[in-house]
Structures are given as structure tokens and as C-alpha cells.
Amino acid sequence: MAEPTTRALRTDTMVLSMGPQHPSTHGVLRLELKTDGEVVQDAIPHIGYLHRNFEKHAENLTYPQIIPYTDRMDYIAAMNNELGFVLAVEELLARGPRPVEVPEKAEYIRVIVCELNRIASHLLAFGAYGLDIGAFTPFLYAFRDRETILELFEELSGARLLYNYIRVGGVARDFPGGFHHKLRSFLGYFGPQIDVYNTLLSNNKIFLERTAGIGVLGVDECIQNGWTGPNIHGAGLAWDLRKEEPYSIYDRFDFAIPVGKNGDCWDRYMVRMDEMRESVKIATQALDQMEERGLLEDENFTAKVRGTLRPPAGEIYMRTETPRGDLGYYIHSDGSDRPSRVKVRSPCFTALSALRKMSRGLLIADVVAIIGSIDIVMGEIDR
């Protein structure tokens, strides 16, 4: 900023408030941008517009009643949220007199729905990212394919977005008749579609110019900031809880962890495209294994859980790999039917906190590109 003189024009830093209502802040996020023309000098995120007191509510609800609330945090990948919470409760119960034995079919169903939800979540990330960068068409293709997944979920659980499906001891309902045929046909159709999307957007020269080399965060900085999931895969580190600390039956499946090279926006985006392919692999393997073991005809989709759930007093921290990273549930139980404390560690929260450092010196258009590439959902950040 120049000193005001009688002759020279004085330049000022412009304070621009991007949001909370904005077409591309992925929810209600307010970004206070201090810019010098188009160059951003500071980008301060203000959150809390979607805070709904999940953790306080959880103290007054019984364990099964909390499950719909977990859906609503990261509403795009609801099944993964439910799974994390339910696994934490089952671990707590395992220490007590009546551990819950989840039937094998239920384990397979859980994996299938979580991976389908991963595909749906990454599709939305892909479509919304294209929209942020200015390509309108990929968004509609993504939603067309997402529609098929949502219809599958509706048939399975009754809801399209917020399912209340994964329960303590298993799942809420069994596969309806003929469901696995529809599932297989979707999985067969979707694999080649990813190549179509790569031709349309990922390898487009303008898209590359807008995202390659922008918002670089090296592996060390990612670890310092607590990044997990596709964000850190983009930086080059193949850390995935499904491989490192396998939960449920993930150790039975053969899949890779796609990684990027540079840790820029394009890498983080491309990692999500490749992760969709891996999810298709996992879901197909799960279906195949279910058929081999004759589980499709099996009718045990949940354990018999009698009476109110009263986990023994104690605490547990359970973490799972959601499409956004490492989601952690800390539950402290006092032996009653309601938890005394539930704390959620949100991967998007840590992702967003690095935004300020990353966006200094970049243009406003680049800030939009970075927010899209870290794939945040305000519902999870604010809880």
C-alpha cells in the first residue's frame, strides 16, 4: 500500500466477504478475503453457520437414537458416518457382558453401502469442482450417475440421502429381492464412466491450467496440519485407515490407495477419481465374496440386540476412513443408556484450517479452486 501523497493514488486492501451465501463455498462458509485487486493477501474462514449441537444432543439420546444425527454431519457420505459411530459402540459393548456379534452378511452389506457412498460423495466432489472451475456439464453427468446410487439406497433403506441404516449389531434391513442384480449392473456401468469423466474434465487443458500447481501443500505440511484422506493422498502419502488399521472386514479385499505427486489441486482431485475406481473394485469383490459364501440367501442381516443398549463405563476412540479423511468418534460412557460425552474429530475441519496459509498470494479464482479441491462439507465442520 503506497503512502498517500498529493500526486500518487493511494491503493487500499479490499475486504471482500465471500459467503456465507455463495455459489461455490460448498455450504455456508464465510471467507473474509483481504485482497489487493485480485491477489489475495489473507483468507480468514468463519464457520459456525451450520452448527447444530450434535455433541450436546448426543448426551441426551440413547445410542440407537444418535445414529440419524450422525447422518446429518457429513450428509453427503452418511453411511460412513454411521459406520464409524456404530463400530465405536460395538467396541464398547465388546468389553461388557453382552458383546454384539455382527453377522457376516451385515458386515458385507456395510462395506458395500459405505463404498457406494464413497462413490456418490466423490461424484459430487467432482461435479461441484467442475462447476467451481466453470465447466457446467460434468456436474450434470455426475448427478445422473449419483441418481442411480441414491435410488439403490432408497430401495435399501427408504431414504436417498440420510439413511439411518447401519445399526448396532448389523443393518436395518436386508437386501430386497433382486437388489444385487441392480448393484452389479451399476458397478459394471460405472467403471468406464470414470474414463469418460477424465476425458471431459480431468485432462482438459484449461482445467489443468486452473488446478495444476495451485494450492500446493507438501507431505510434511499436510501431516503438520493433520490432513488425512484424499487430501494427503494427493500430496503423495498413501495413508488409509482401511489398510493401516483395518476395521470391519476391509482386510478381506484387494484394493490400492491412489496417490498423487505434487500435492496440488489437480492431484487431490485426480486421487478422488481414482478412488472411485477402487471403490467399484471393493464393492464388486464384496458382492462376489457374498455369492461365494452363499450369503445372498442368508437372512441374518443383524444380530439380536435385546433391550436397551448399556455399554460398560469407559471410553473409546474409533476412527474410520470416510471419503473426506479420518473421522474419529470419541465416546465416553458412564454405564447408562446415554453416552456422557461424544466428540467427533472432523477431517474437513483440519482441511479447512490450512486454507489460510495456502491462499496467500494467489488469485481469488485460485481460492475457489482450492476450496473445491479439499472437498469440505460444512455440516461436518460445524457439526
Partner 1 sequence: MTHPIEAFASRLRTTLAQTTETLELGGRWPEAIPLEGLIAIMLVVLAAVTVALIAAIPIVLVLMERKVSAYFQDRLGPTRVGPWGVLVTLADGIKLLFKEDLIPPQADKLLFRLAPYVVFGSSFAVVAVLPPFQSTVIGNLQLGLFIYLAVSSLVVLGIIMAGWSSNSKYSLFGALRGAAQIVSYEIPLGLSALMIVMTAGTLNMQHLVMDQVGGIHHWYMFRHPFLFVGAWIYFISAIAEVNRTPFDLPEAESEIVAGFHTEYSGLRFAYFFLAEYANVFVVSGICVALFMGGWSSPIPGFHAIPGIVWFVGKVFVLVFMMMWIRWTVPRVRVDQLMAVCWKYLLPISFVNIIGTGVVVLLEREQLGVEIAGMFIGVGALMWAVAPVMLLILGALAFSGTEPVARRSPAVGG
Q: Which residues bind partner 1 (CB under 8 A)?
A: 14, 16, 22-24, 38-39, 130-137, 140-141, 144, 200-201, 204-207, 209-210, 213-214, 216-218, 221, 357-366, 368
> Smallest gap, in angstroms, from Cβ of residue 159 to partner 1?
24
> What is the rounded distance in angstroms from the CA atom of residue 45 to the CA atom of residue 38?
18
> Smallest gap, in angstroms, from Cβ of residue 218 to partner 1?
6
**Residue number, 134 or 335, with CB nearest to partner 1:** 134
8 A C-beta contact, residue 231 and residue 351: yes
> Smallest gap, in angstroms, from Cβ of residue 348 to partner 1?
19
**Residue number, 102 or 237, with CB nearest to partner 1:** 237
**Residue number, 23 or 335, with CB nearest to partner 1:** 23
End-to-end CA distance of the chain: give it in Å, rounded: 40
Largest CA-CA distance found in the chain, in angstroms, rounded = 86
**Residue number, 127 or 328, with CB nearest to partner 1:** 127
**Residue number, 76 or 368, with CB nearest to partner 1:** 368
> Smallest gap, in angstroms, from Cβ of residue 205 to partner 1?
5
For 237, the 3-state DSSP assignment is coil
> Smallest gap, in angstroms, from Cβ of residue 225 to partner 1?
10
> Smallest gap, in angstroms, from Cβ of residue 157 to partner 1?
27
> What is the rounded distance in angstroms from the CA atom of residue 18 to the CA atom of residue 355?
14
- H or E segment at 170? strand 170-171
Q: Within its chain, how far is the Cα of 289 from the centroid?
A: 26
As to burial, measured by CB atoms within 10 angstroms (0-12 exposed, 13-18 middle, 19+ buried), residue 219 is: middle
**Residue number, 215 or 230, with CB nearest to partner 1:** 215
Please state, as a whole number, how many other Cβ atoms lie within 10 Å of the Cβ of residue 92.
26
